[in-house]
Amino acid sequence: MANHKSSIKRIRSNDAKKLKNRYQHKTVRTAIKGIRTATDKKAAEKDLPKVISLIDKLAKKSVIHKNKASNLKSKLTKHVKTIK
């Protein structure tokens, strides 16, 4: 257990940030799954910019790596274009 006041605060804030990051990451994964399982091209095209924005936000906060974010966006865009 931490002894200093600042380290106790840091532990508390880290726990809060961890919960928020996990929630946001799970939300993005669910949104990605929604696009991957979509059968309607128009709906997928409508949702794609929102999901890309969420992915960019995670990468900006270093929740996911920027290269992973780029790969996800690329693969999702290709997938949406192949939907008939």
d(CA 48, CA 31): 9
Query: Residue 38 sits in a domain of what CATH number?
Result: 1.20.58.110
Under 8 Å between Cβ of 43 and 25: no
d(CA 74, CA 80): 10
Domain residues for 20? 5-82
Domains in the chain, number: 1
Under 8 Å between Cβ of 66 and 59: yes
Angle at 5 between CA 4 and CA 6, to 5 degrees: 90
Q: pTM (2 decimals)? A: 0.86
| pLDDT by residue, tens only, the chain of 84 residues | 788 999 999 999 999 999 999 999 999 999 999 999 999 999 999 999 999 999 999 999 999 999 999 999 999 999 999 998
